[in-house]
Amino acid sequence: MPDSSTIVIIGSGLAGYTLIREIRKLDKTVPITLVTREPGYFYSKPMLSTALASKKEAGQLITTASEGMASQLEINILSQTDVSAIDTAAQMLQTSAGHIPYGKLVLALGADQLRIPLEGNAVSEVLTVNDLADYEKFRQAIVGKKKVAILGAGLIGCEFANDLVLGGYEVDVIDLAPQVLGRLLPEAAAQALQNKLSDAGVHWHFSTTVKTVNRNGDVLEILLANGDSIICDVTLSAVGLRPRVDLAKAAGVKTGLGIQVNRELETSSSNVYSLGDCAEVDGLVLPYVMPIMQAARALAPTLLGTVTMLSYPAMPVMVKTPALPTVVSPPAQGADGQWKTSTLEGGIEARFEAPDGKLLGFALMGSATTQRAALTKELPPILQSLS
């Protein structure tokens, strides 16, 4: 068991393991214990929405087993271990493996797939894919099947839709918004992606939601709020993520949208930090790869005694839709400006410009994605450096 000088990290996702790698670049010997309810293997979570067409089994997505991670990073891994409570005063975790003391604690808990309230006798059959075990279950569910319905036309919904049609499935996508990627793309760019995915075989049902999901013999029947119905074999929910805050909240740590942290990634409780999909920095919860990398690079030295403030540069998001490759850097919420869209040979360039012409965001599609690096340099940082 670790002693009270140990850095203890809860969560074996990208955030937890990236942070450990950053710590090990700076200090080879500081004791680190990773506590996870998963097996502790490392895999690329972003690949979950793009591995079906290439017929990847869940096991093929694992790059390193738990034992390999423990050896490679010289850490202690407590796998398949549930944390039930945090005593912040005593600096102690209560877990299924006993009590674990910590010197510094990092919550890299991730997020859960949102579940919208549904009715019908097959609600329990609606699947989500949020980890490798979920992916395996979904893969098994679609074997020998033809039709898949997806709830949600956001980032994950679009990526799964593209991957499934490439794999030969018929796909219906339902979303309350009037377009794909409603929070990320301007209308013209969204229409272009929607058209390309339609050409690939995706059927869209916008401005409506699912009322009931019922099993009718060998098929599922989905009734929409607009009165339409969809017959499918499997239903996948991809309507968004909810940061895991319950463990922190129960320990008296301040939470909002996520676990609230300052620019040093410290929570309201001393020696307790957070990063990744569960963390809220200055009101921002950014469940993407690049913010995790930035946070890990800042938190590693802080945990080792060199306090480092987190800053976020502009961080474009890649949408993995081969039908129309897309890179988007949305403007800050409430930013003053407007979208200007140009059609190029084989692509679309959409710029969100302030009244003075400054670039505040962009969406690049197809051939225009080659401009990503150049335009990113023009963007303001998401979180300004405080130095």
In this predicted structure, what is the pLDDT of residue 71?
Answer: 98
pLDDT confidence of 387, banded at 50, 70, 90?
low
3-state SS class at 112: strand
Inter-CA distances, 151 with 127, 164, 267, 326, Å:
10, 14, 34, 21
Positive or negative: CA dihedral 261, 263, 265, 267: negative
Three-class SS state of 103: coil
Q: How far apart are CA 165 and CA 218, in angstroms?
A: 21
In this prediction, what percent of the chain has a pLDDT beyond 90?
A: 96
Report pLDDT for 5: 85
Residue 203 pLDDT more than 70?
A: yes
- DSSP letter, residue 271: T
Q: Per-residue pLDDT tens for 229-238?
A: 999 999 999 9
d(CA 186, CA 352): 9
Q: Which of 20, 14, 37, 31 is nearest to 95 (CA)?
A: 37
Q: Which of 86-90, 197-201, 256-260, 381-385 has the lowest mean pLDDT?
A: 381-385
In whole angstroms, what is the distance from residue 227 CA to residue 257 CA? 34
Residues 6+ apart with CB under 8 A from 277: 13, 15, 109, 110, 111, 241, 243, 244, 258, 285, 287, 292
Rounded mean pLDDT, 304-331: 97
Over range 236-253, report the average pLDDT: 97
Tokens 């006798």 belong to which residue? 121
- Output the average pLDDT for the chain: 96
Q: Is the pLDDT of residue 110 over 90?
A: yes
Average pLDDT (213-231) is: 97
The predicted structure's pLDDT at residue 1: 65
Residue 176 — pLDDT band, cuts 50, 70, 90?
A: very high
Residue 3 in this model has a pLDDT that exceeds 90: no
CA distance 40 to 48: 17
> Which tokens go with 298?
């800042």
**For residues 28 and 309, is the Cβ–Cβ distance under 8 A?**
no
Q: Taking 80 as the threshold, does the pLDDT of residue 2 lie above it?
A: no
Q: How confident is the model at residue 157, as a pLDDT? A: 97
